[in-house]
Amino acid sequence: MFAKPQSEHQWLTQLVGIWSFDHNCDGPEGEKTQSSGTMECRMLGGLWVICESSGGATEDGKWSAIMTLGFDPAKNAYVGTFVGSMMNNIWPYQGVLDETGKRLTLNSEGPKFSGEGTGLYRDTIEIVDRDQWLMISEMQGDQGEWTQFMRGVHNRR
């Protein structure tokens, strides 16, 4: 029953390390926020990357989060989760790597910013180079359009 890492799992090792980040967010009412912090990513059994992050500009705004990512050969898709101290729901991920091998798009569903029902979301991890990657978060609007609400730049420490 012991799974063996595949090339898709190897892709995840690019995230391993200690990172500093800056996230710029657009809130539901148009307010703009910025958060900085650190993230440490490690492999679990060569199959999963676990990324633990913390940030926040003020004591009241401090947060922490854990993201897990792996590859499920049965689904032929990357899978994972995201949980954060600032929310009470878990975000399940499922996604694919683009043809360039640089962008991993992870789809999810969760509560709408308005608090009314759920909506579709996607987080995209884009590898810039060995020492930098981006995280772009988007939500789908009522007309099917995608709107970016967060952009994070992660630099290796």
Structural domain for 116, as ranges: 7-156
Residue 28: band (very low, low, confident or very high) from pLDDT cuts 50, 70, 90 = confident
Inside any domain, residue 2: no
pLDDT value for 60: 75
Inside any domain, residue 35: yes
Inside any domain, residue 64: yes
Inside any domain, residue 131: yes
Inside any domain, residue 98: yes
Identify whether the C-beta of residue 78 lies closer than 8 Å to the C-beta of residue 104: yes
Residue 57: band (very low, low, confident or very high) from pLDDT cuts 50, 70, 90 = low
Inside any domain, residue 1: no
Residue 94 has pLDDT above 90, yes or no: yes
Average pLDDT rounded to a whole number, residues 5-13:
97
**CATH label of the domain that carries residue 41:** 2.40.128.20
Inside any domain, residue 118: yes
Residue 64 has pLDDT above 70, yes or no: yes
Residues 37-53: pLDDT tens digits? 999 999 999 999 999 99
Domain count, the chain: 1
